[in-house]
Every structure is written in structure tokens, then in C-alpha cells.
């Protein structure tokens, strides 16, 4: 295989077979090569050279292209992490030390066939991943043969059905609400209470147990055509390798297995009334288990090297946990994105209705305890989109590289915790306190400015995380440090706010895509680059910043958080009354 190198130093893809010059003139930009003119002739191996533009398809390159051989040097090892979240397909390349070499992303269109339904076209999803993989390889400027391993991660739950030929039938996102009445039915007959000792988690409308039960009554045709059920990252891995499997961490968050054993359990499936659909459930694999290799067909369309090993991958909450180095029981990981996830790991699982989810962690022998809801940084994104577009446009006119978040940091930094008692309930998209709860500001006053409003939003989002963490603190001590990732981690003002409200040190990891890093860590363990997750994280996870709590803010924040909880208590009986 001879890589083609082009101006900019990127080896975009490898090409198998003979490479020929189709015209007599060749422009040499670097390196040393023998020029073959006149009739087509085979080109032997030569030192590295570059060409001006990408090649056309096929194994022959029109001039000024030449085939070149890589310089002789010890092979660098890279790992590819692929992450499919709620709206984006991402891919990132890391070296064996965890350095982020390149990132590529593409938005995936959400479909809304009916109110409350959220789906994705599975073929479009796959094509978005193909383009993202190609793009990240090009951006990384590496030979794809140097990618030693691949692993995928993605949002948990939802459901991705394929038929016996491998064609996508229906991709349902984890925010879908079509099966809400099934949840009402199970709550009414105490089904969850009976099976909780085995499933160890709450239930909601977009879990596959709920969706399968709904489809049995409402979409039997699609269900009968289906052969396998995947989580999103398992579908991508299937397309990469052609092999059918589902990862244990993702599966353990679906209420489909006995979390204590990590295996399928007929009693669990029977409790949901879906034992007849066990035929759809794939074989279970571990996160670092090699589940196949990139096929020749996939190599041709992605630029990956055929035969590259692909590991099992993991639930995105596990990937982020690994991405911040969560390998023992000391720390707690906070992720501030669309969802505000708050999680820790332990060798002892928590089985309680007071904890949203207990699942199997990527590190064997550990469980992951999660408290979370869609109440985090997406609230601030809404404010910026709806009320700061004019500011954003003006800033771009003055400086194309300016970020609206610089203005937000400036406005929030111009106020302080004791300025006013304005509160924000971060329930624009969901709420853990009531299905009918909505966002609101409480305590607005005419003298307040945009800085106070933005501060209240940021504080309210942190208070939302604290509400969840207090539930976890029934089962453990306050961690030190807190490992913070997601949108809030990019803001020094906001990160300091987390430290001050929790009165605990906050550490911020390097990199922008911790989910893909977690997947890359699994790939590195899977191919034997590191003997364990602990060793891999010690070598691949770095921290760039730490924020120590300011004791002078403790009293003001304690007072505000008490008011936040009191407001929730007062509004509790009225949410349903005022639902619209």
C-alpha cells in the first residue's frame, strides 16, 4: 500500500495496486523521485513527495500526482474514537499519549414523524459517520494504517432496528416520547418496584424495553421485520465490521438485563412483557473486547485501513468517565451538556429508587451510579440563540474570531454571588422534579441587567447539578475533586462557580471531545497498547486547569441554593395545575 501525500502534508488515504503516471510532466514539491515520462510506467517506491490537489477515484493518478512512500521512521500509533450523540456524529484521532490530533463533526438531522417522536434516518446517520471519519483522517494528516484501533460510543437508550440483511428499519432517539403511556401503565401496577433489584434504574419512555412493548401494540409490522436491536454505537460498529454485538455498559442502562450479573435475564424481559422479543437481542461484549475489523468495503469509503481492529465501545456516560480519568471511587464526574450527568463508580452497586441509574462500568468489577436530567448547559444555549444573535453578529463584524461566550463570561464576571437573589429553574427541556415542571426566573427586578440574568442561569444550572448530587451523597461522601466536562468546563467563570457552590476543588481535563477520548482509551486497551484502563488513563488523560473554592462565597451560595430548593417545594403541587 502506497500512501498519496498532498500539499499540506496529509496522507489522505492508502491505495492498493500499481500506480501509474498518465502524462509526462510531474511537478516535484519535496523529496526525491525519478521522473518517468512518455508512456505509462510503473512507479517504484520513493521518498515522500506532495501534490497540489486530491486524486481522482481509482488506482491511477493524473499528473501532477505521484505515488510516494512514507519516510522510514518508527510507526506512530493512533486511536480513533467515534461518538454519536443526540444531534452530532463526531470522530477524533488521538495518539497513544491521549493527545487530540484532529476532530471532525457533522450534524445529523432529527426527524419528527409525529408530535413527541424523535427519529433519525439510519442510512443518513451512517453516511454522516462515513464523511466524519474521512474528514478526521484528512485533518489528522496521518497514514490510516497507523490507526491501531477504533471504538465507538454514543447516547444511551433509544433503539436502532435492522433487518436480516443489515438494512436500517427504524432509529429512535433517546429523547423520544411516544411510549409514555407504557410508563404510566407500569407505574400503576408497580412493575418497576418488583423488578428494580435486578434492573437498578428508573424507567422512561425512550428506553428500549418501553419502546419494544409499545411497538408490539402499535407497530407490529416493523417489529416483525426486525432481526437485531442495537444502541446507536453498536449500529455504527456493525456497519464498520459486519459483526453483530451489543456492549454491556450500554445494555445495562436499558432495563433489559440483570445489572448485577451483567447478563440477559428472562425474568426481567417477562416483567416488561417482551420476552417474545428476546430474538432481537445481540450477543453481549465488553467495551475493550475486539469485535471485528474494518471491512474492505468500509475501508474504500472511509479511508480507514482494511483490517483495523474495532473494540466493543461503550455508553457515552462511561466514555466521559474514562475521558476524565475516573478509575476509582474517590472522584465524581460532572458533565454539563444537553444532559447534566453526575456520576461516580463503586464496586458496590446502589439499588434504590432515589438513584436514577446504576449500570455496569467499562472497568470490570465496577458499577456506575448516575443522577442526571436534561437540565444543564443547553439552557444557556437557548438564551444565547434567542437573545444574543445581534451581539454575536456585531462581534463577528469587528473580529471574525470572536466568541459570544467571551461576552457571556464578561457579563457574568461583572456581577457577584451576593448581588441579588434572582433565581432560575433550568427546566426548559425537562425536569427531574415533575414531568410538568417548566423553566422560570424568580425575583426579576428592574435594576438588574443582562449580567444578573446570565449569572442566575449559570447558577441555576449548577444548582440543578447539586440537586442530583445531593441524592448521590446519600450513598457516599462529597468527592474531592470533582471532574468537570462539557460546556461549562470551557468557561473559567462558570467552572469557578461550580467550585464555589460545591466548596470543592474542580479539575478540568484537556481536550474538547472527552467522549471520543474515552472510546479511544477502550481501543488502546483492546489492542493491548495498555494492559488496563488504569494504565491507559494514566497515560492518556491530562488535566489543564484546577479551580479551588472561594470560602468567601460559601454563605451567599448556601442561601441561594436553600431558596432554590424552597421554590421547588412551593411549586411542587402546582406544576400539573399550570401545565399548558
* Per-residue H/E/C for 126-190: HHHHHHHHHHHHHHHCCCHHHEEEEEEEECCCCEEEECCCCCEEEEECCCCCCCHHHHHHHHHCC
Among the listed residues 513, 469, 522, the one whose alpha carbon sits nearest the alpha carbon of residue 490? 513
Distance between CA atoms of residues 461 and 257, nearest Å: 33
What pLDDT was estimated at residue 68? Answer: 30
**pLDDT, average across residues 421-445:** 94
**291 and 358 assigned to the same domain:** no
- pLDDT exceeds cutoff 50 at 172: yes
Q: Which residue has the higher pLDDT, 487 or 67?
A: 487
**399 and 499 assigned to the same domain:** no
* 122 within some domain: yes
Which pLDDT tens digit goes with each residue over 80-101?
999 998 888 999 999 999 999 9
- pLDDT exceeds cutoff 90 at 61: no
**567 and 451 assigned to the same domain:** yes
Q: What is the DSSP string of 482-507?
A: EEEEEGGGG-HHHHHHHHHHHTS-EE
- pLDDT exceeds cutoff 70 at 33: no
* Residue 329 confidence class, pLDDT cut points 50, 70, 90: very high
Which pLDDT tens digit goes with each residue over 491-506?
999 999 999 999 999 9
| Boundary-marking domain end, from 312, 336, 354 | 312
Distance between CA atoms of residues 266 and 283, nearest Å: 15
Which three three-digit cell numbers place residue 444? 426579576
**84 and 201 assigned to the same domain:** yes
**434 and 483 assigned to the same domain:** no
* 15 within some domain: yes
**330 and 215 assigned to the same domain:** no
**288 and 337 assigned to the same domain:** no
What pLDDT was estimated at residue 333? Answer: 95
* Per-residue H/E/C for 188-237: HCCHHHHHHHHHCECCCCCCHHHHHHHHHHHCHHHHHHCCEEECHHHHHH
* Residue 27 confidence class, pLDDT cut points 50, 70, 90: very low
* Residue 435 confidence class, pLDDT cut points 50, 70, 90: confident
**pLDDT, average across residues 266-292:** 98
* 88 within some domain: yes
* Residue 21 confidence class, pLDDT cut points 50, 70, 90: very low
* 449 within some domain: yes
* 35 within some domain: yes
What pLDDT was estimated at residue 580? Answer: 81
What pLDDT was estimated at residue 486? Answer: 84
* 429 within some domain: yes
| Boundary-marking domain end, from 46, 73, 100 | 73
**Domain residues for 36?**
1-73
- pLDDT exceeds cutoff 50 at 480: yes
Contact 224, 161 (CB under 8 A): no
Task: Give the contacts of 98 (CB within 8 A, at least 6 positions apart).
Answer: 510, 511, 517, 520, 521, 539, 540, 541, 542
Output the domain CATH number for residue 388: 3.30.420.40
Contact 230, 155 (CB under 8 A): no
SS3 content of the chain, % helix, strand, coil (to 5): 35, 20, 40
| Boundary-marking domain end, from 312, 334, 355 | 312
End-to-end CA distance of the chain: 63
Residue with cell 438485563: 257
**149 and 292 assigned to the same domain:** yes
Give the CA-trace dihedral at 490, 495, 496, 501, to 10 degrees: 160
* 317 within some domain: no
In percent, the amount of the chain with pLDDT more than 90 equals: 78
* 447 within some domain: yes
Residue with cell 470551557: 490
Distance between CA atoms of residues 42 and 29, nearest Å: 20
Which pLDDT tens digit goes with each residue over 175-232?
899 999 999 999 999 999 999 999 999 999 999 999 999 999 999 999 999 999 999 9
**pLDDT, average across residues 400-424:** 94
Domain count, the chain: 4
What pLDDT was estimated at residue 479? Answer: 85
**156 and 174 assigned to the same domain:** yes
Q: Which residue has the higher pLDDT, 213 or 115?
A: 213
HSE at residue 266, side-chain half, CA atoms within 13 A, is 2
- pLDDT exceeds cutoff 50 at 48: no
In percent, the amount of the chain with pLDDT more than 70 equals: 87
- pLDDT exceeds cutoff 80 at 37: no
**335 and 484 assigned to the same domain:** yes
Task: Give the contacts of 185 (CB within 8 A, at least 6 positions apart).
Answer: 191
**137 and 188 assigned to the same domain:** yes
What pLDDT was estimated at residue 579? Answer: 85
**161 and 227 assigned to the same domain:** yes
Q: Quick check: helix, strand or coil at residue 180?
A: helix
What pLDDT was estimated at residue 374? Answer: 86
Contact 137, 144 (CB under 8 A): yes
Q: Quick check: helix, strand or coil at residue 435?
A: coil
* Residue 487 confidence class, pLDDT cut points 50, 70, 90: confident
Cα 126 to Cα 86, 120, 160, 318: the distances in Å are 14, 10, 12, 23
What pLDDT was estimated at residue 17? Answer: 38
What pLDDT was estimated at residue 111? Answer: 93
What pLDDT was estimated at residue 69? Answer: 33
Low-confidence winner among 5-9, 60-64, 275-279 (lowest mean pLDDT): 60-64
* Residue 9 confidence class, pLDDT cut points 50, 70, 90: very low
Amino acid at each position: 500500500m502506497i500512501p498519496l501525500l498532498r500539499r499540506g502534508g496529509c496522507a489522505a488515504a492508502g491505495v492498493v495496486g500499481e500506480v501509474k503516471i498518465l502524462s509526462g510532466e510531474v511537478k516535484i514539491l519535496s523529496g526525491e523521485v525519478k521522473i518517468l515520462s512518455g508512456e505509462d510506467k510503473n512507479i517504484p517506491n520513493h521518498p515522500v513527495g506532495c501534490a497540489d490537489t486530491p486524486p481522482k477515484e481509482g488506482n491511477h493518478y493524473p499528473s501532477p500526482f505521484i505515488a510516494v512512500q512514507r519516510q522510514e521512521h518508527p510507526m506512530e500509533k493512533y486511536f480513533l474514537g467515534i461518538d454519536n450523540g443526540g444531534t452530532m456524529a463526531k470522530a477524533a484521532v488521538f495518539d497513544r499519549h491521549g493527545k487530540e490530533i484532529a476532530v471532525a463533526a457533522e450534524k445529523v438531522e432529527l426527524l419528527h414523524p409525529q408530535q413527541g417522536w424523535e427519529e433519525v434516518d439510519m442510512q443518513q446517520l451512517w453516511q454522516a459517520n462515513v464523511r466524519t471519519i474521512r474528514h478526521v483522517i484528512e485533518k489528522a494528516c496521518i497514514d490510516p494504517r497507523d490507526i491501531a484501533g477504533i471504538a465507538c460510543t454514543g447516547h444511551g437508550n433509544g433503539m436502532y432496528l435492522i433487518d436480516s440483511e443489515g438494512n436500517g428499519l427504524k432509529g429512535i432517539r433517546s429523547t423520544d416520547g411516544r411510549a409514555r403511556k407504557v410508563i404510566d401503565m407500569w407505574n400503576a401496577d408497580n412493575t418497576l418496584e418488583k423488578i428494580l433489584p435486578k434492573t437498578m434504574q428508573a424507567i422512561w419512555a425512550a428506553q428500549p424495553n418501553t419502546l419494544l412493548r409499545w411497538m408490539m401494540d402499535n407497530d407490529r409490522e416493523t417489529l416483525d421485520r426486525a432481526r437485531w436491536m442495537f444502541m446507536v454505537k453498536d449500529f455504527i460498529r456493525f456497519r464498520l465490521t459486519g459483526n453483530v454485538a451489543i456492549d454491556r455498559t450500554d445494555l445495562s442502562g436499558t432495563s433489559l438485563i440483570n445489572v448485577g450479573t451483567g447478563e440477559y435475564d428472562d425474568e426481567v424481559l417477562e416483567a416488561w412483557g417482551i420476552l417474545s422479543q428476546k430474538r432481537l437481542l445481540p450477543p453481549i461484549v465488553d467495551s475493550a473486547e475486539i469485535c471485528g475489523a474494518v471491512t474492505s468495503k468500509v475501508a474504500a469509503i472511509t479511508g480507514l485501513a482494511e483490517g483495523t481492529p474495532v473494540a466493543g465501545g461503550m455508553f457515552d456516560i462511561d466514555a466521559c468517565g474514562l475521558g476524565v480519568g475516573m478509575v476509582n471511587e474517590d472522584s465524581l464526574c460532572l458533565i454539563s451538556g444537553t444532559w447534566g450527568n453526575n456520576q461516580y463508580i463503586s464496586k458496590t452497586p446502589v439499588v434504590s429508587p432515589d438513584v436514577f441509574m446504576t449500570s455496569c462500568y467499562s472497568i470490570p468489577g465496577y458499577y456506575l451510579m448516575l443522577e442526571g436530567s436534561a437540565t444543564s448547559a443547553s439552557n444557556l444555549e437557548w438564551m444565547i440563540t434567542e437573545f444574543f444573535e445581534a451581539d454575536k453578529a456585531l462581534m463577528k463584524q469587528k473580529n471574525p474570531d470572536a466568541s459570544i461566550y467571551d461576552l457571556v463570561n464578561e457579563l457574568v464576571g461583572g456581577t457577584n454571588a451576593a448581588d441579588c437573589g434572582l433565581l432560575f429553574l433550568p427546566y426548559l427541556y425537562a425536569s427531574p422534579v415533575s414531568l410538568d415542571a417548566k423553566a422560570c426566573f424568580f425575583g426579576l427586578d428592574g435594576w438588574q441587567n443582562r449580567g444578573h440574568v446570565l449569572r442566575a442561569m449559570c447558577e441555576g444550572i449548577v444548582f440543578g447539578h447539586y440537586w442530583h448530587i445531593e441524592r448521590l451523597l446519600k450513598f457516599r461522601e462529597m468527592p474531592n475533586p470533582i471532574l468537570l466536562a462539557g460546556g461549562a468546563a470551557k468557561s473559567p467563570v462558570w467552572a469557578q462557580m461550580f467550585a464555589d457552590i460545591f466548596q470543592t476543588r474542580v479539575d478540568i481535563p484537556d481536550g474538547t471531545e472527552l467522549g471520543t477520548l474515552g472510546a479511544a482509551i477502550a481501543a488502546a486497551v483492546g489492542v493491548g497498547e495498555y494492559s488496563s484502563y488504569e494504565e491507559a488513563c494514566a497515560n492518556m488523560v491530562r488535566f489543564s486547569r484546577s479551580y479551588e473554592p472561594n470560602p468567601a462565597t460559601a454563605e451567599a451560595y448556601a442561601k441561594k441554593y436553600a431558596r432554590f430548593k424552597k421554590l421547588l417545594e412551593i411549586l411542587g403541587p402546582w406544576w400539573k395545575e399550570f401545565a399548558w
